[in-house]
């Protein structure tokens, strides 16, 4: 089993998602920024979801999080026609920092 651990900031408030034939869950995006060798900032976004609905009021834009969970990767084409990889995390653990 794969596990991915990240530390980053919430890009927006978490949203509760209610689908017809599934349990509700929270969906949110986390940004992790680092500097490359040239000193430029590079940001990687992670799409996250958790079944812990009690966290909704705590997962607000800008909060710093430590997240651990199972990654899933998919591809998509951006608005400029470039192929990109989307990193999705089914969250097992969230710590507010």
- How confident is the model over 8-36, as pLDDT tens digits? 999 999 999 999 888 999 999 999 999 99
- How confident is the model over 65-95, as pLDDT tens digits? 999 999 999 999 999 999 999 999 999 999 9
Answer whether 32's CB lies under 8 Å from 8's CB.
Answer: yes
Statement: residue 38 has pLDDT above 90: yes
The residue ranges of every structural domain in the chain are: 4-96
Hey, what are 14's tokens? 């978490």
Q: Which CATH superfamily is domain 4-96 in?
A: Nucleic acid-binding proteins (2.40.50.140)
Statement: residue 50 has pLDDT above 90: yes
Instruction: Please spell the DSSP secondary structure of 31-95, one letter per residue.
Output: EEEEE-TTS-EEEEEEEEEES-GGGTTT--TT-EEEEEEEEEEEEEE-TTS-EEEEEEEEEEEEE
pTM higher than the cut 0.85: yes
pLDDT confidence of residue 10: 98
Q: Which residues, 6+ apart, have CB-to-CB distance to 43 below 8 Å?
A: 31, 32, 33
């Amino acid at each position: 089993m794969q596990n991915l651990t990240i530390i980053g900031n919430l890009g927006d408030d978490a949203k509760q998602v209610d689908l017809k034939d599934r349990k509700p869950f929270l969906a949110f995006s986390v940004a992790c920024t680092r500097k490359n060798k040239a000193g430029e900032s590079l940001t990687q976004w992670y799409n996250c979801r958790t079944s812990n609905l009690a966290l909704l009021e705590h997962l607000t834009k800008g909060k710093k999080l430590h997240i651990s969970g199972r990654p899933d990767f998919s591809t998509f084409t951006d608005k400029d026609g470039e192929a990109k990889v989307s990193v999705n995390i089914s969250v097992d653990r969230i710590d507010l920092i």
